[in-house]
Amino acid sequence: MKKHLVLTIGIAAMACQTFAQKVDVSLTLAYSTFITGEPVVVQAKITNLMRDPLDIGDDAPDRFLIEVSKEKRDNELVPDPGKPFLKPLALTPGNSILHTMEVDKWFDVADNGKYLIRAVLVHNGNRYESGMKSFDIVPGTPLKEGVQMFADRKNFQRNFKLVHWTRNQVRNLFLRIEDSPGGQVWDTIDLGEFSRSEDPRLDIAPNGEVTTFHRANPDNFLRTVIWSLPDSVEIAERDVLLDPDVSSAQRMRAIYGDLKDAPDKKKSSWWKLW
C-alpha cells in the first residue's frame, strides 16, 4: 500500500509539472462578419505558464504565427513574408501579452467568403494553438456609387460605394473605396449607425474632398469628410448633427414647457421605502 501511494504521488507530481510547462494561446475577433476591404481586426493573447521565459521573434527560439485558410483548413493562405506577426519580445513566466493586429495586412482576404483563423506559438518544436475561429467577408448591400477622376492621371479613377450591413443587430453604413485600373482596395470606412428612412448622400468635389451624409437615428445625422488624393485617403472630419426638427421641438419645450397636462405626482421622502 505504501509503495502504491508513493507511486501515485509521483505520477501526480509529474502530471502537475507537465501541466505547468505550457503556453496558453487565445484569439478574439472584432466581428464575425467584415465588409470587403474593411480591416479584419483580431486580438491574440499569449500567457506563459512555464517556469522559463519565452523569447518570441522570427529569429528567436519561439515563434508567434497567425494561420488563415479559405473555407477549408487545407486551403491555407500564404502570409506576406516581409512582415513579422509580432515584434521580438521576452515573456516572463506567469505573464501575458495582448496583441491586436489587422489580419488583412498579412493575408489576401479580399475575396468574399468564409475564412478560418487561429493563433499559434511554437516552443521547442511544440505548437500551442488557439481555438479555430471563423469569419466572413461580404460585399454589403449596395446603396449608392460615385466616381472620382484625377486631372493629372489619365485613365485612372477611384470608385466609391456606399453599402450597408447589419452587425450585432445594428445596421451600419460603410464606404468602400477601390481604384481602377490596378484594383487597389483602400480600407473600407465604417460610417456608423444607419437608418434606412432616408437615402444617404455622397458628394465628391473636384479638389478631392469626399463627403457622406446620412441619418443615424430619429434624432441625429452623421457627416464624414474624407480627403481623397491620388496616393492617399484619410478621414478629415466626423460630425454628429442634431435633426433640425428635433432641435426646434426641444427649444420650444425649453421655452414653453411641456404643453401636455400631466397629473401631479406625490413626492415621498427618500427614506420612506414602503
C-alpha cell at 259: 404643453
Question: Which residues make Cβ contacts (< 8 Å) with residue 163, sequence separation at least 6?
Answer: 35, 139, 140, 141, 142, 143, 173, 174, 176
Long-range contact list for 85-91, CB < 8 A, 24+ apart?
86/56, 86/57, 87/57, 88/55, 88/56, 88/57, 88/58, 88/59, 88/60, 89/56, 89/57, 90/53, 90/54, 90/55, 90/56, 91/46, 91/48, 91/53, 91/54, 91/56
What is the architecture of the domain spanning 21-137?
Sandwich (2.60)
Beta bridge partners of 215: 221
- How large is the average pLDDT for residues 161-176? 96
Q: For the chain, what are the domain ranges?
A: 21-137, 140-256
Please check the confidence at residue 267 and state whether its pLDDT lies above 60.
no
Mean confidence (pLDDT) of the chain: 85
Q: What is the pLDDT of residues 80-133, one digit of tens each?
A: 988 889 999 999 999 999 999 999 999 999 999 999 999 999 998 899 999 999
pLDDT value of position 103: 96
User: Mean pLDDT lowest for which of 7-11, 89-93, 137-141, 226-230?
Assistant: 7-11
Are the C-beta atoms of residues 103 and 44 closer than 8 Å to each other? no
Note the pTM of the prediction, 2 decimals: 0.79
C-alpha cell at 143: 446603396
Neighbours of 66 (CB within 10 A): 20
pLDDT value of position 274: 33
Task: Say which residue, 261 or 187, is predicted with more confidence.
Answer: 187
How confident is residue 186, by pLDDT bands cut at 50, 70 and 90?
very high
